[in-house]
Structure 1
Amino acid sequence: MFQLLIVDDEASVVDSLADTLPWPEAGIGSVYKAYSGFEALDILKTNPIDIIMTDIRMPGMSGLELLEEVRRNWKKIKCILLSGHAEFEYAKQAIQHNTFDYLLKPISDEAILSKVKHAVDVLQREREESQSYQRVLKALEENLPKLRAELLNELLQGVKYSKQRLTEKLDLLKMSIAPDCPFALMLVRMEGQLSELDFYSLSLMEYAIGNMAEEICEGYFHLWPGKDVYGYLVFVVTVTDEKQAELAQTENRRETVENQLQLMASQLQLSVSHYLKGTVSVLISKWGSFPDDMNRLYQDSLLSLRRRVGNQSGLLIYVSDEMEQQPVHSLQRLYEPPLLIHLLESGNWDAAHEKLTGILDELHMKWADSAEHLIEVFFFVYASFSSFAHKNGRELAQMIGPVLSDAAGLTACRSIAALENWMFQSFRRLQQCMENETRNNRENAVRKIQQFVQKHLVEDVSLQAIADHMYMHPVHVSRIYKLETGENISDYVLRLKMEMAASLLADNTLKNYEIALKLGYQNPNYFIKVFKKYYSLTPQEFRLKLEEGK
């Protein structure tokens, strides 16, 4: 959906067009309103406008002058001129400014929607055909192996995606695997001289092993290759559609598939030894359902590698359900991404709170009476809080207080209730400390903005001038001011100018045009119009009312 800006000095025209037409039918998601060329420029600086529909004759800045600014700074915006003046000179100037279309008042709603829809269609076509769009597609194609490997690593580490979101990512990456598809993991550990190669040679060797695995499994298995955080090659193995159809009537289908995978893993070991003069150990997991069993099967494989392979080399291991047989398990929620420290550093307080809640839920379910697990969680969370404080130039005691930051005696680990109380008290104080700092920074920024506006009220107080003074982007300036004060900067500037105008009108020696010039309005008629819109009185009527009140 595209963004439309309607500009006209007649407020009734702008409001009627913006509020009554079914813009979504024309492909428009948002409609912005401006009642002067200057107000339109402010909106353009803070919003991603795609189409402008503007009147030609406006006080202060005409529609053609506005289009000249648009062409200078926003070349891709489509401009439609809407005017009641049919003179050829206007049309000629509009053509010079590369105006997309030119409409004469009065015009029907259907015609306006049709013209805007045409502009939307052209923008959509340009977007699809643009070089930048093609470059993005090309970059995506070139980086597909890397992006696929990154997604694989996320799933191995336990990152959760909704079914819809995962399906979208798999489709984007052109993956043949789908949710609930049966799969197995195959881990390959390079050993001996292969593990001692330099980075460049190691990359070539990994590429070669991946190609060998693809060739050996071709026709029977699909492989999704990647490399985990330990440097092991990881392959997600699924049976091809053709082979599944062939095996549909086979007895002991699962056993047949497992035997075939083990045979191909053995062939991979032999090929690496023969062609690459190296040694690898291969681990094949049990079969599971994608993606729910990814992390569990991966952890099973790592445990088997530690226990059954160790320092030996050239082994082929079929992994059993070793994790389920262990009396003690590690805490999954504590270490699965995103980590607590990363959520804190990104300022995602809701997700960080959810992370802490998930850790405690896992403790309650499985390890509420385990002193070691309580201490493990305490030190992990304490380290995350301390690291966050230090990266913000503070000591932890400054942010959460000396009592909560005191780890002596490990009082917070004596029970799960004590740990929960410590975690959330510390978290709330940490969050409050950062929010206070952010609020103070915003308040200081707003104070500086207001001081600048008050000092330069009759000079240049455009959004860009304020942003330059603050060394900020105009969008950021506009947002923090609105967030902190509840009003737009343009409304604040207008309010100050109108209050100053009201004060100057009390001086009968000043003419209206003199007051307009004092306020920075070069066009007295435009000043009168703005004043009347603000006070519902003309300057002269306002002055008479002041005299009556004396």
Structure 2
Amino acid sequence: MYRSLVVDDMPIVADGLIELLQGLTHLNLKLYKAYSGTKALDILRTEKIDIVLSDIKMPGMQGIDLLKEIKVSWPNCKVIFLTAYDDFAYVRSAISLGGFEYILKIEGDDKIVRTVEKAIISLNEENVARTLIHAADRHTTLADTAPQEAYAWELLSEEKTNETDLINAFVGMNPSLRADLPVQMVMGNFKEWDCVKDQDKAGLLATVQTIIEQYTGDCARLFMSSSDDSQFLLLIQEHGEGYDGAEPVSFIRNKLEPIRQTCRKLLDIQIAFVLHDLPAGWSGFRHVFENLKKDIVRGTDSSLGMIETGALSETTVQSDKDESGTNYFQLYKVRLLDNYLASGNEVDFTKLFHELKAFLLEDSTFRLHKLECLHALHAILVSNIMACQMTDELEMAFEINKRIHLSGDGSWEELQQYRQIASSIFEYKRTMASENSPEWIDKVHAYIEANLADDLTLPMLASQVNFNPSYFSRFYKQKTGISLSDYIADIRNATAKELLKCNKIKIQDVAMKAGYQSSMAFIRFFKKQNGMTPQEFRRKMSSAIFVSDANNK
């Protein structure tokens, strides 16, 4: 985790930047703020600050003077200047004195975020460069564990390997791995590995592990089958120093590209990654490993640096014969069916239901696996039936479930009746939506207007009419012709305009009443909507009122 300090003599701007950076969890920053250069120096003397975002023109100590102090005492600190002054003299002074970057305030949030990300990458690369000296020690450690890693790799390649042996092998090599937590798996491949001299490979691997640790802390561990093989495995668990609390998939996805760039820049070596976008338990570990090996081979000839496979999404479900024949993936299909049912997506529900049914009717599928999927499918149907208060369908679902459990394999054909129940649920939801849409939309509009100053989220609004959020979003646009977010933006804009007509209400208070948590965000939104800032709009309205009063006299 890096520490970042925001410095601006306008509290509204400093607070807005803090709010922006707080919302970007992937940056993993600890944030500080100061409303003057002298206050910033006080913080710098007590805290190790890595990145400073500062206004360049401030009363008292100016940004350039602050930069000079920082470079004397904290030369590795990255100083980013933000200013409303598009003046080449300021740019030249800032950069010549060691400023990292210069941003105009009118350039928007995206430029600020990209620049902070760039500063973090630069800090990571410098940290790696400083720690490469430790790679020699790691070289020895890797050599000591090489036989264990070869054994673990062999276990993964064996079809009959059991869970206990896998856990013992991997946890035994690295005590930071925990058997009670899922593991996220990433397969890596060194491009042109054959061109690396044999005597350099072990040292190179040690350096790559050091780079990985700079970005992930001790959340990730690299395993090699052997130094002759270009493939390696990264195991990530959601614990340890460096883990930022995100979902494991999101956490590692944000780290892989910086790792690739650093390896290419410092070591002149290219790495391809394949990320499996499903949470893997140890029981599904070997199966995911085999899929990743196939994908990394297929991706070797590609220019892609990172490939995601097995994503749990509406468009990507493992469905070829090998993968659909495992219980591991079928349970995720059941979860998707629940999503489709809740969101009213009957087309994709039907397609996926037939895939699941084919798996359950396969003679080669173990009965225990069939019953596990049946139980999950029955649970999601019952939940939706009860939400719709469909008594007849509820009795039918329990009767089907009972017959399949008590009868032989032939009874699995009755699964088609589950599909008929799902059709009834979809039809019920369509009917209710059509009959009650004006009432529901009015109810949501009333809630928005009564709670405009609050954080109006889609789940919160959908809950007012007991809708699934994604379904309600589509339903609202279909019935009104505009998106829900556009409607909220229009209401907030109209409210802000009305409030701005009163000169006694401060801009910050207008922002809060219109639903914006910072004046900076409100000013950007208002200018985008109206082509002028709130202050300009207020002056324009005041002038118009003055002229009207003068004409009436």
Normalised by the length of structure 2, the TM-score is 0.35
Q: TM-score, normalised by structure 1?
A: 0.35
Larger Rg: 1
